[in-house]
Structure 1
């Protein structure tokens, strides 16, 4: 907890002008009584689902219910070997729960680091506390960028403007006066003040909304939506196929009910892609843990996937390409003015704002308020990114009243003013320039900047982030267009971006010249790379214009002027040191303020999407060949070729174990749209070829084998062909090969050989190859099937590349 005493004086510099009679807030005794009465803001701050929700989501699924019923049936009618699939599901579910709990712990610990810590005044002293420590009646101070964390009534206001767009949809800031209500979930865009908490905890207006917005959600994800769509299709196919299979097996095996049940279950179980949802959850959860180690808080799960799909990233210069701090490098006094007088004016100006932004803090560092002895503050006009300047009124030591403005020269001065030429030359060097001007109108006049007398140019140098150049280069290599969007002078922004090697930085665009029509604006945005003098509403419009052209847009920022654009972007990325408002609406928060973390998020998203596409192909190939085999069995009126134990063995060796490793492997392939279509293009022909090859071997074996034990021999031959076919699908999916992927495929093949040559494993899995003719014929059929798989795979890839 940090504390600072409130002196409540403004005798020399006007630091707290007009705020001499400040309310001290609650006393310690009053706070204690309210805590005892339970009048505390006890809404839990969570970034993830609860433990109970995680367990329910992993256990109580549609397919777990199907598998569970089939497992119970096998326990009644068959040996435990045929019920192995039930134990696999239990293990998979446990893995999913453990991984999501790991992700929950990571997210919860990071959420505490990034949690808003409002400043509360108690006993006349202001201190930062946790939101959960606020009590009813607390006096909470507000400054630019601060989020209103509970409902209340304004007690003090100094040009206080609050944006309530996240609650009401009204984009224009609302000016607040003492006695006006404020709602939790809104945030300060300009000015400052304090309000008294009137509703805390779950009674606050936005408590439930804030709780939902901060959860570890699974919405708006093409990957998750695609898998849900696939599972819906699978369910529709399973029902009629399973009914036909049940009737067929009880007809064919009418003399042996137990065998009919086992064969029926053996046909239904592989239709269920039970591990697909699990591996998707695990891949996302591990991604969250990996990013958490890099101090990246993922507030919404699809953000990992979403950033991987982004093709345009809009960067706010300040705090993203440059570090938060700035330094005053020069002071150019205009028209032969008195430099000492200007320095005193700057010192007084700096001392007038209790919550200076980065630019004003640089002025304060260079001209401390102590240098303005005798200057008494008479009012302040906080900086607004819309008007591009701030103001302060003073009574000077000689009794003269003066009004000063500090802001953008090209906003405060008329077009063509001679001083602007000097400003342009400084901007060309990548320097930031502020104009200190004296106004001839009162500070509360809406036209206060209409006619000003320029006194000095304050030259600031921004500190470039050392990692920004490499990050921009990474985005260029990944074919992601970077657009620098800033409220600063366009030429200055272009110079900074040029130093970092951003293509197109030499042709900056002044946003005041942008066409208002969305389509025309989008055309300019697609051509340009650097945009200056952008207002907060324009940032929002620019994001919408890019989205209208089909772009997936990410927006980064740390200031309150970025909130609207962050909210509308496909992915919002906030710096940890940014305002509470930006952290509240962003899906990703970089707690270490490192722009260089973004490539890690992109890479993690691509790993998840690319790898889940791979493993989904494996799972759905199994589903397709299972449905085909069931249909063929019904048509030929023969016993189902496999027992549950055979398919459990094959699924474990060719799908389950390999998919787990493939889902977590590095993958830099760029994310592509249409997940369902792409997966089914590969899985459907692969599944049809595998099913046809296995059934052909089965029919051949039935023709050759006769007598007792023939069915077991036929099943063994069909199992050999199906294993070889699935291994070939695995070998295709594992490409491009690395040493560990080759080793993975070989290890799975070796495991199957061990089962075939080990007597007790042969008995356990009911596998025994009889003679030489049928086993070698099974291998031959598999070889023909492998050629068909390669041809179909090449054809699908050719069509996909042609479409791209």
Structure 2
């Protein structure tokens, strides 16, 4: 053996020593990429305090305080409230995310001082020897030291879908993953030097971006900004160019501008997402990307693997059924095959537990299991070359042994064929003709929660497609035991067309698909998406990685392969398929409730902008200008009782309605008519009781009170509509807001604080009449809007 070869063997056998590791740590040659699954506490505080809305309110508050009317600056409390609530909720979410991320972290196996141990990725140093097997993620760049039929998939980095065979001396890149075989590599580039370090850092960051909901809200805010500029400028011109004293003009200007800003919409969206993270964290669900919560709410197709999802991931050897009279005991061969694989899968683990070791059988050539091949094997010299795999792959159609395997598989059992290969397993044409020796029957336990979970999806109108690499008949039997519609007609994926359009049609018709290759799983996801479906993919094996990456939402089991967990947006750390309905429900709660409260906030914005235009335009064109009907304190309390407090409660309430697209159009279609009606009705009430010209302060207070009664009544009616359908707590919420709002006009202390005078009965009746007319128009607008939405 040459010196270089012996050095290579020694490196793999011992790895770095403790002293060498300490030396590299001191030199800073560590994998120091920060595992940033969330923003730092400082970033959270800054992002919640230094916002555009807080800045606008701060400037307006300074203007009001300069006039001496401190009560009109009550809206400044929103700066403190918005910041405090946002900071507290996001810090809670950060603690939950950080804790779960440590639990679900990919932990590479590193050899040091001759001992193999699992380490956190950050503990890997330059020149470490990292061991890998099927499903393992390459955590740092390196050079292969040893390889046993090692195949690496680099498609997530290069886009090339074919697995690449790696031999000693070949490079491996971080971000790729092992699909077959075993090996070891030396870490050559660690930390920020590694190829995928930047991508990994960004992928693990707590983010609220790139979601349809957030994009929709940003679009709405952009439209509002365009409206605020002319409405705000007109309001400023109208108030400052009139005959009012400067303090009164400034109060009117601020009163017009404050309600135009939907100050709580962004806050409540962030809070709803953060609370969702905390709630899911309690169920051991790690949310790697927050938009995944929203995505699952929109899902209408769930593609589920059988093993590890519908069934437990563990297996039990039920029976070894010899075919004829084999010369060698099948149990002896099975034990040798299990011992020859350094990283056995679940099937080989079950065999190893049931079959005693086989002394004297030394593997000279090993073909590890591959999802694409559907078989594994080993060559044992004089004992021959043996394979273990799918009977319908290794045997010709029509053979009696294959028919018997199909019959057994129809009972929901996994059946493997043990056979003797005619070709050496290290040859390219392996295995060649296979002589059947025995059928290996394995039992899988159906998850106790699978039936309930499938029933939930059926009730919610979400289609479930079982996509498995196992025999289609066996997969169909398991699905039938769970009463999955369409399970009586399982489809062998080898018969499916390659054309995406034709494939999509087959997927629409079928429910259960067996013998699906990793590439086909990916193609199936793309085909369903081409038909407009929002697809969630669940899985735990390396064969699921590409499909999980391409799905709208990838969901991995915590016990799954490291590569699977690294690409999934959601990881079920407790491996419970039954957790998925809770994740879907949490997404629906977030989306549905944000849409509810968006209607409240945008209705307020619309009526504020329309009021500013109604008040400002007459003065602009030379007509008699009318003062703004409300004081800043008036619009503040309207915001509290008709939007702020109820919106916060509604944003956290249960909501199981499936999310739909078209968020922006749907919200504006509801909010614009309501806002216009509220503005017109309240201003009409104001004009009907306003004496005109220079009025006394008492007359002005009465006119403002009349307009405020109309505004408050209509805003509360909109709240009542948004709260539908009613439950007991929603009825209590709306009733409480009505009661508190009514008391504000009755109690002497609030009438004095908020400058209210409802004592003129005629004025109050005028207000109620305008409110009644407005209610009729709002109900009509909502009914028409609802009909239009249903007809789309």
Structure 2 length normalisation: TM-score? 0.96
Aligned to 1:534: 516
Aligned to 2:681: 693
Is this contact kept in 1: 2:11–2:129, CA < 8 A?
no
The Cα of 1:53 is off from its aligned counterpart by: 2.9
Q: Verify: 1:347 aligned to 2:329, yes or no.
A: no
Q: Verify: 1:205 aligned to 2:191, yes or no.
A: no
Aligned to 1:135: 125
The Cα of 1:20 is off from its aligned counterpart by: 9.5
Secondary structure of the residue that 1:161 maps to in structure 2? strand
Map 1:371-390; keep pairs closer than 5 Å: 372-390=358-376
Aligned to 2:4: none
Map 1:661-676; keep pairs closer than 5 Å: 661-676=649-664
Aligned to 1:111: 101
Is this contact kept in 1: 2:12–2:129, CA < 8 A?
no
Map 1:152-167; keep pairs closer than 5 Å: 152-167=142-157
The Cα of 1:32 is off from its aligned counterpart by: 1.6
2 CA distance for matches of 1:425 and 1:190?
Answer: 30
Is this contact kept in 1: 2:72–2:251, CA < 8 A?
yes
The Cα of 1:741 is off from its aligned counterpart by: 1.1
Map 1:427-576; keep pairs closer than 5 Å: 427-576=409-558
The Cα of 1:475 is off from its aligned counterpart by: 0.6
The Cα of 1:36 is off from its aligned counterpart by: 2.0
1 CA distance for matches of 2:46 and 2:193?
Answer: 28
The Cα of 1:27 is off from its aligned counterpart by: 0.8
Is this contact kept in 2: 1:46–1:111, CA < 8 A?
no
Aligned residues: 778
Aligned to 2:747: 758
The Cα of 1:680 is off from its aligned counterpart by: 0.7
The Cα of 1:255 is off from its aligned counterpart by: 4.1
Q: Verify: 1:30 aligned to 2:16, yes or no.
A: no
The Cα of 1:63 is off from its aligned counterpart by: 2.3
1 CA distance for matches of 2:562 and 2:696?
Answer: 78
Structure 2 residue runs without a partner (length 5+):
1-7, 619-624
Secondary structure of the residue that 1:157 maps to in structure 2? strand
Q: Verify: 1:331 aligned to 2:320, yes or no.
A: yes
Secondary structure of the residue that 2:208 maps to in structure 1? coil
1 CA distance for matches of 2:221 and 2:744?
Answer: 32
Secondary structure of the residue that 2:659 maps to in structure 1? coil
2 CA distance for matches of 1:49 and 1:559?
Answer: 30
Secondary structure of the residue that 2:702 maps to in structure 1? helix
1 CA distance for matches of 2:324 and 2:711?
Answer: 89
* Root-mean-square deviation (Å): 1.5
- Deviation string 1:559-599 (CA, Å, 9 cap, x unpaired) is 00001100111000000011111111110000000000000
Is this contact kept in 2: 1:404–1:438, CA < 8 A?
yes
2 CA distance for matches of 1:75 and 1:134?
Answer: 58
2 CA distance for matches of 1:68 and 1:382?
Answer: 66
Secondary structure of the residue that 1:383 maps to in structure 2? coil
Question: Of 123, 138, 148, which aligns to 1:148?
Answer: 138
Is this contact kept in 2: 1:78–1:262, CA < 8 A?
no
Structure 1 residue runs without a partner (length 5+):
1-17
Question: Of 304, 307, 310, which aligns to 1:321?
Answer: 310
Question: Of 378, 399, 402, which aligns to 1:392?
Answer: 378
Secondary structure of the residue that 2:506 maps to in structure 1? helix
Q: Verify: 1:717 aligned to 2:703, yes or no.
A: no
Map 1:6-25; keep pairs closer than 5 Å: 22-25=12-15
Structure 1 length normalisation: TM-score? 0.95
Aligned to 1:245: 235
Secondary structure of the residue that 2:286 maps to in structure 1? strand
Q: Higher mean Cα deviation, 290-299 or 757-766?
A: 757-766
The Cα of 1:709 is off from its aligned counterpart by: 2.5
The Cα of 1:401 is off from its aligned counterpart by: 4.3
Question: Of 771, 775, 779, which aligns to 2:768?
Answer: 779
The Cα of 1:22 is off from its aligned counterpart by: 4.4
Q: Verify: 1:307 aligned to 2:296, yes or no.
A: yes
Aligned to 2:602: 620
Secondary structure of the residue that 1:117 maps to in structure 2? coil
2 CA distance for matches of 1:97 and 1:597?
Answer: 28
2 CA distance for matches of 1:220 and 1:392?
Answer: 48
Is this contact kept in 2: 1:431–1:492, CA < 8 A?
yes
Q: Verify: 1:795 aligned to 2:777, yes or no.
A: no
Map 1:29-428; keep pairs closer than 5 Å: 29-252=19-242, 254-338=243-327, 341-368=329-356, 370=357, 372-395=358-381, 400-428=382-410
Secondary structure of the residue that 1:443 maps to in structure 2? coil
The Cα of 1:21 is off from its aligned counterpart by: 8.7
1 CA distance for matches of 2:346 and 2:697?
Answer: 87
Is this contact kept in 1: 2:234–2:617, CA < 8 A?
no
The Cα of 1:703 is off from its aligned counterpart by: 3.3
